[in-house]
Amino acid sequence: MLTLLLRVLVRGLLRLRYRIRVSGLEEVAARGMRGILFLANHPALIDPVILVSELHRRFAPRPLADRDQINVAWWARWASRRARVLTMPDPTVHREAASRQEVEQALAACVEALRRGENVLIYPAGHICRQRYESLAGASGVETILRRLPEARVVLVRTRGLWGSMFSRASGQAPSLARGLRKAVLAILANGVFWSPRREVSVTLHEPSDLPRAAGRAVLNRYLETFFNQDAPPHTYVPYTIWERGGTRVMPEPALAVPQGDSAEVPAATRDQVLRHLRELTGRDVIREDDLLANDLGLDSLALVDLGLWLEAEFGFALPDGVAVRSVRDLLLAARGNIVAAPAADLEPVPAAWFAAAPSAAPARLPAGQSIAEVFLNQARQGPERAILADQTGGVKTYRDAIAAIEALRPDLARLPGTHVGIMLPASTAAGVAYLAALFAEKTPVMANWTVGIRNLTHALDLLQVRSVLTSARLVERIESQTGSLEALRERFVYLEDLGRRLSALRKARAWARSRLSWRALRAARVSDAAVVLFTSGSESLPKAVPLTHANLLTNMRDVCRAFPFRRDDRLLGILPPFHSFGLTCTVLLPLCAGVPAVYHPNPTEGGMLARLVEAYRVTLLAGTPTFINGIARAARGRELDSLRAAITGAEKCPASLYELMARRWPQLKLVEGYGVTECSPVISLNDARAPRAGAIGKVVASLEWALQDVERGGRAAPGRPGMLLVRGPSVFGGYLNYDGPSPFVEFEGKTWYRTGDLVSAGEDGVLTFVGRLKRFVKLGGEMISLPAIEEVLARHYAKPSDEGPVLAVESMPQELNPELVLFTVLDLDRGEVNQRIREAGLSPLHNIRALRKLDRIPTLGTGKTDYRALKDMLGAK
């Protein structure tokens, strides 16, 4: 009875917007109503709802649907259970091996359902149309089912009239089912419910007698395409309200994004690598540029997904959603980085509460408190309804919302074994909430860096006997698609999605009530002495565990607020992952503790999206590495960055080209470069925001003492000469955990100092200039040769602002006596010309490059820094 009522309700609601005509239904039913495989085209996200509502009374077909579309909301999950929907992951999104197995299991479930006499509805393309015409390319689902069940009845279904609806990709952007339904409800209400303009929709059913079941995938898919694309209507817009002018009209078709450029310009090494991989994948000896990957080389849809993963792993270029790589020529251009992304998806609307969060332009300061937890609560008490966190997934969160989430999560985290809990999350509202929930659960948060590889990640967690790691299933899937299986760590993962689903209504109600009535339980929490454990990058050795106390972090945040004029009406864009010390202190903890609203995005390499977020959220402050800020600046269009007043950058030397770009396009924006290390919480020095000095790293923050030590003689470095930077003060950590290597501290002039490992020089005014890591110097002919200095000279000639990542790096051979210098590069360079550039810069012949190594890409860490350890390993392997 409930199913009948649901069907009647859905059909009635659909008819408020659509005028639906169905043909061929009686003819199919006359031949029987069991064991039918319905194959449908897929012009829009709404057509499965239409088809199931029309077919359910006679056939009750079980649709095969994308798991993510089902999980958009509780009502979608409930309705799918009523319709007995079969689910599978989208392999273009969930790209790990486990999801491939789920796809195979879903197809096997379809076969078993057909054998039991049930009816199944599938979409052969596996996704909604990206253009007017359906393209099956290498889709193999139908072939797989018919190979296992060749006698199955097949009925083709062609839907017309939905190309151009808000649920289609006719706009060139990926649609959202939830957002589309909200818009539809508002439009229907605005029309007085019954007077909405109707979109004409036709559904044609046809049971073919000449279906080429055993002719192979290519022939079968062409047959289906011919049926689906017969008289395909153009992109048609139908007004949503009776008040709109212009009426129903044909709109321009979306352009298909493809890699651009001349394939003759693809470097020979890249070309050889791509063709060699295709030969191994297909077993063919001859591969031509005009070969189509699906039709000519026979690659099915899963193989094409694997090819995209290989492309990203080998060359560092991910294929954005909507970019078509159809031929070998397209693949060659994509491997070179000639990718023009499809139009970006619409941003979720920014709630008005976000813009009401600026009480004044007064300086932002940390309130009193001895721990992160206490300072956070004291700041929240000053404005509990102020918006403080935001992202495109979780929306906008006020302090009270954050406290409610902490109260809801805290009991589950308190029950986790051990005193430490891992947190493996990208920049997001969830990361800040998870960190605070762990603190209030009386655990020590351990920030897990997934970019260092499974070996280093496992080492880091084992070092502290971390048995539970808070993370996201989506993030784990993404990591596995890029770097390989995390199976060895899977039993430690605690997925936030699972915790959220297990929260009872009573637990949520209690958390909501406590966030509004009393924070006494949170104030009573006995937080651990260590506020967090971070890890060194692992660029030169195995990661070391760096415990930072509450005093370390609070001192550093107060120093930063004194050095930089944060205001309460600022809005910050956070892009660095919280395992990065700069990301944790300056983009997670400082906003929460100082009351500066922060909006987050999990991928710091998506420059175009980040620029749009700056505009949409009216961001005034940006914090990130020069690599990521450069990506945003290059991708920004028009006036997207006009709201920015400053960009704080660190973690690597900021190139002169970025200063020049910012000054030329956004003269109102101050690029403020600083310097720090994880062991110092992390900021050590910061430029004056009023008049930042290009190329300098500013003055040392107020709480730190500092000295420059001559690395040769051991005494103070002479004025104006570079020296080893030593620091001491309350933001410096107390020592590595579970570490038996050499002490990071040294005795100098009767005091104990932290030895940063970095060479800097100081001007008469105390402004520091970064010279380089001591480990990035080699001794040749009695001189200390700076490898970064060589890189800087060569970058001025060979690097361009448009480059995706570093294009060159200099390392030395592993021998101790007179090691040769090696230039790694992605460019076609001549060693003689390179050395001529070095001499023209005034460097001695000792700086000359002795060997040149061509790479497809320079290896980088998750922060965008060059991975010199990987380069040293290459030289050691030789």
Residue 533, Cβ density class (10 Å: 0-12 exposed, 13-18 middle, ≥19 buried): buried
DSSP state of 444: E
Which sequence spans correspond to the domains of the chain?
2-250, 263-336, 372-695, 781-878
pLDDT of residue 93: 59
Instruction: Reply yes or no on whether the pLDDT at 522 is more than 90.
Output: yes
Contacts of 358 (CB under 8 A, 6+ apart): 568, 569, 571, 597
Q: Which residue has the tokens 């909604």?
A: 128
Q: Which CATH superfamily is domain 263-336 in?
A: ACP-like (1.10.1200.10)
Q: Which amino acid is at 350?
A: V
pLDDT of residue 487: 86
Out of 3.10.20, 3.40.390, 1.10.540, 3.40.1130, the CATH code matching 2-250 is 3.40.1130
User: Averaged over 294-312, what is the pLDDT?
Assistant: 69
Share of the chain above pLDDT 90, in %: 45
Say if 263-336 and 372-695 have the same CATH topology. no
**Average pLDDT for the chain:** 86
Q: How many CB atoms lie within 10 A of CB 767?
A: 17
The torsion angles phi and psi of 41, rounded to 5 degrees, stand at -75, 170
pLDDT digits (tens, 9 = 90+) for 4-51: 677 778 888 888 899 999 999 999 999 998 999 999 999 998 999 899
Q: How many CB atoms lie within 10 A of CB 319?
A: 24
Instruction: Reply yes or no on whether the pLDDT at 751 is more than 70.
Output: yes
From the list 806, 763, 760, 814, the residue with the least C-alpha distance to 786 is: 760
Taking phi first (over 0 means left), then psi (-120 to 50 degrees means alpha), and beta for anything else, what does residue 851 get? Answer: beta
Q: Distance between CA atoms of 825 and 856, rounded to whole angstroms?
A: 8
Written as six digits, the tokens of 430 are 């969830």
Task: List the CATH code of the domain at 372-695.
Answer: 3.40.50.12780
Q: Are 353 and 387 in contact (CB under 8 A)?
A: yes
Please tell me the least confidently modeled range out of 303-307, 367-371, 715-719, 799-803.
303-307
pLDDT of residue 259: 66
pLDDT digits (tens, 9 = 90+) for 622-669: 999 888 898 899 888 888 999 999 999 988 788 888 899 899 999 999
Q: How confident is the model at residue 878 (pLDDT cuts 50, 70, 90)?
A: very low
Written as six digits, the tokens of 593 are 């503790």
352: enclosing H helix or E strand: helix 352-355
pLDDT digits (tens, 9 = 90+) for 49-70: 899 989 988 898 999 887 777 7
HSE value, Cβ hemisphere, 13 Å, CA-based, for 546: 26
pLDDT of residue 297: 74
Q: Distance between CA atoms of 751 and 370, rounded to whole angstroms?
A: 27
pLDDT digits (tens, 9 = 90+) for 762-795: 998 999 998 877 777 675 654 567 788 888 889 8
pLDDT digits (tens, 9 = 90+) for 418-428: 999 999 999 99
Handedness of CA 27, 33, 34, 37 (dihedral sign): positive
pLDDT digits (tens, 9 = 90+) for 324-383: 677 888 888 777 766 544 445 567 788 888 988 566 788 999 999 999 999 999 999 999
Report the relative pairing of strands 751-762 and 723-728 from DSSP bridges: antiparallel
Q: Distance between CA atoms of 551 and 554, rounded to whole angstroms?
A: 5
Q: Are 771 and 791 in contact (CB under 8 A)?
A: no
Q: Are 37 and 114 in contact (CB under 8 A)?
A: yes
DSSP state of 290: T
Q: What are the angstrom distances between the C-alpha of 819 and each of 701, 844, 855?
A: 38, 16, 21
Q: What's the chain's Rg over C-alpha atoms?
A: 30
Q: Distance between CA atoms of 791 and 808, rounded to whole angstroms?
A: 7
DSSP string, 163-212: TTSTTSSTTSS---HHHHHHHHHHHHHHTTTT-PPPEEEEEEEE--S---
From the list 360, 353, 409, 350, the residue with the least C-alpha distance to 384 is: 353
- Assign 692 to helix, strand or coil: coil
Q: Distance between CA atoms of 163 and 458, rounded to whole angstroms?
A: 49
- Assign 573 to helix, strand or coil: strand
665: enclosing H helix or E strand: helix 656-665
Q: Which residue has the tokens 């470069």?
A: 673
pLDDT of residue 593: 98
pLDDT digits (tens, 9 = 90+) for 164-204: 898 898 887 778 777 778 888 887 887 787 888 899 999 99
pLDDT of residue 206: 95
Q: Distance between CA atoms of 695 and 687, rounded to whole angstroms?
A: 10
Q: Are 407 and 398 in contact (CB under 8 A)?
A: no
Q: Which amino acid is at 92?
A: T
781-878 CATH fold: GMP Synthetase; Chain A, domain 3 (3.30.300)
Q: Are 516 and 497 in contact (CB under 8 A)?
A: no
Whether the upstream peptide bond of residue 234 has omega within 30° of 0, thus cis, is: no
Q: What are the angstrom distances between the C-alpha of 703 and each of 365, 367, 553, 684?
A: 16, 18, 12, 9
Q: Are 723 and 710 in contact (CB under 8 A)?
A: yes
Q: Distance between CA atoms of 850 and 860, rounded to whole angstroms?
A: 23
